[in-house]
Amino acid sequence: MTRKAPENWQIGGFGLYVHWPFCEAKCPYCDFNSHVVKGIDQARWARALAEEIRRAGAESQGRVLSSIFFGGGTPSLMAPETVAAVIEAARDCWTFANDIEITLEANPRSVEAGRFEGYARAGVNRVSLGVQSLRAEDLKRLGRLHDVDEARAAFGVARSVFDRVSFDLIYARQNQTLEDWRAELSEALEMAVDHMSLYQLTIEEGTAFWDRARAGGLRGLPEEDLAADMFELTQELCQAAGYEAYEVSNHARPGAQSRHNLVYWHYGDWVGVGPGAHGRIGSGATRRATVAWSAPGKWLERTEAGSGLESRDLLSLEDQAGEYLMMGLRLTEGLDVERLRALDYGIAPDAAIRDLQGLGLVEQNGPMLRATGQGRLVLNSVIAALLP
């Protein structure tokens, strides 16, 4: 008897992403779908998010949900009752994994012990704090509303409520030296629990920083060589402290990797709900890319009228292979070349792999292809070389 091939979600995992689009202020480096709005009707939003989850659940029955991630925006502006309604809707639709990870992003300014305890009662078991910097002047430059003391206090509150706490830092900032980053990262590692996300500052089109840079007003950003040195120092210090770089920008103690983000990087399936949320869902070789309406008001109206999705596009096998390539090579473990070939990848990448191996940018162990340390410094170029 021919054995049925495992579904994509059984290989890469199955997750739910919930986008909360509201913030207290728009950060000048942020290109996410976030909006500053007063007077949010939490009960109405809870009903809409729950209904959209149930619609998605009706089309993906029989799956085991491994993670839920509340992103934004600032999800810590959600009422605990709103979070509880979302989690209950998900529980109605899918079987929860015994070790399901339910993460909520929080800004230090919006952290309150009572609210965090409410999230924990709702089912949240992991928090990711947007600290971004441990330096007062840099927090101001980044447009953050919290100060260093608030960040440290918020971290203390999070640790008192949750066993799993992650936080983000941005480096390669204006006027930052290598020694500045060494000192700051060393402080952060002394604080950290089990996971850190460490991102180089990038100037994205559509942000205030982008406009400022084009006008010549964003001075002091590090040259490319200094940014590369900061990346290498990040790997060195995190590794020495026991935080493995399991992905380009993410570091964790053994067993503490973000399960939700691994769904993306392992190219599993995920449902995306909320304004501007993206999803990937399918069965067999059929896979669709879903995109929700991005404007909060329009998403809410469309959801209440029947569906918050703007598009549900069928992905070709070549599109799927390209996405898996771009996702999988971000991981230290790399990607499975046999899985890539099973997607009828446009051309067999053997010649390109050999060329990149000759340059010391990738290495292959059995079916697993991964970028080397040198390759991770130029990862976009490595990926481009492997695309058909």
320 burial level (CB within 10 Å; 0-12, 13-18, 19+): buried
CATH topology of domain 321-387: Arc Repressor Mutant, subunit A (1.10.10)
Picking from 7-11, 227-231, 266-270, which range would have the lowest pLDDT averaged per residue? 7-11
**Residue 181, pLDDT score:** 97
More confident residue, 272 or 4: 272
**Residue 112, pLDDT score:** 75
Residue 138 has pLDDT above 50, yes or no: yes
Structural domain boundaries in the chain: 8-264, 321-387
**CB-CB contact of 44 with 299 (8 Å):** no
Cα four-point dihedral sign 325, 195, 271, 13:
positive
**Residue 259, pLDDT score:** 96
Give the DSSP H/E element, type plus range, for residue 128: strand 126-132
Residue 1 — pLDDT band, cuts 50, 70, 90?
very low
Residue 214 has pLDDT above 90, yes or no: no
> Mean pLDDT throughout 224-241?
95
**pLDDT tens digits, one per residue of 65-124:** 999 999 998 999 999 999 999 999 999 999 999 999 999 999 998 777 688 999 999 999
Domains 8-264 and 321-387 share a fold: no
CA distance 383 to 106: 32
CATH architecture of 8-264: Alpha-Beta Barrel (3.20)
**CB-CB contact of 290 with 276 (8 Å):** no
Residue 60 has pLDDT above 60, yes or no: yes
Residue 38 — pLDDT band, cuts 50, 70, 90?
confident
Residue 2 has pLDDT above 50, yes or no: no
